[in-house]
């Protein structure tokens, strides 16, 4: 990244080892901040990251579903809307990820019958 190259050039002019170490430490923090929000926009500049962070922006984590680059729906959920189980208990939506064989339900809520994608009956393994 261009921004990182500029910081390294600046560090080469700094003589005081303690100051140089502190700058490296800050650079590591900025890098961690970038890694924490790159799922929002991988092309975002360091300056914009810092501006957003200083203005109070708290990023949501990235979706933890395999190969998904979306933002997780809400804290403390780990999955985006399309990878979170659609089953609801009252007004609470299930927070589990969808199963590999269902496009909308987790293992706990999807019917165990082959090729069935419906919700299972309560305390049953099948929907039928």
Instruction: Give the Cα separation of 57 and 31 in Å (integer).
Output: 16
Which are the contacts of 22, defined by CB distance < 8 A and separation ≥ 6? none
Which of residues 76 and 106 earns the better pLDDT score? Answer: 106
Domain spans of the chain, in order of start: 2-54, 60-128
Residue 97's pLDDT is: 92
For 20-68, the pLDDT digits (tens) are: 777 778 777 777 777 777 777 777 777 887 788 788 877 778 888 988 8
Mean pLDDT of the chain: 78
Instruction: Tell me, yes or no, if the pTM score tops 0.75.
Output: no
CA dihedral 123, 106, 93, 59 (to 10 degrees): 150
Residue 84's pLDDT is: 92
**Inter-residue contact 27 to 15 (CB < 8 Å):** no
Quickly count: other Cβ atoms within 10 Å of residue 32's Cβ.
9
């Amino acid at each position: 990244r261009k921004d990182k190259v500029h910081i390294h050039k600046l560090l080469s002019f700094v003589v005081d080892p303690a100051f140089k170490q502190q700058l490296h430490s800050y650079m590591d923090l900025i890098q961690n901040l970038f890694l924490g929000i790159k799922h929002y926009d991988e092309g975002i500049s360091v300056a914009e990251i810092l501006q957003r962070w200083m203005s109070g922006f708290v990023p949501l984590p990235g979706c933890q579903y395999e190969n998904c680059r979306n933002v997780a729906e809400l804290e403390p959920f780990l999955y985006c809307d399309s990878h979170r189980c659609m089953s609801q208990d009252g007004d609470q939506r299930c927070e589990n990820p969808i199963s590999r064989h269902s496009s909308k339900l987790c293992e706990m809520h999807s019917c165990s019958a082959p090729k069935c994608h419906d919700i299972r009956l309560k305390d049953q393994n099948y929907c039928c």
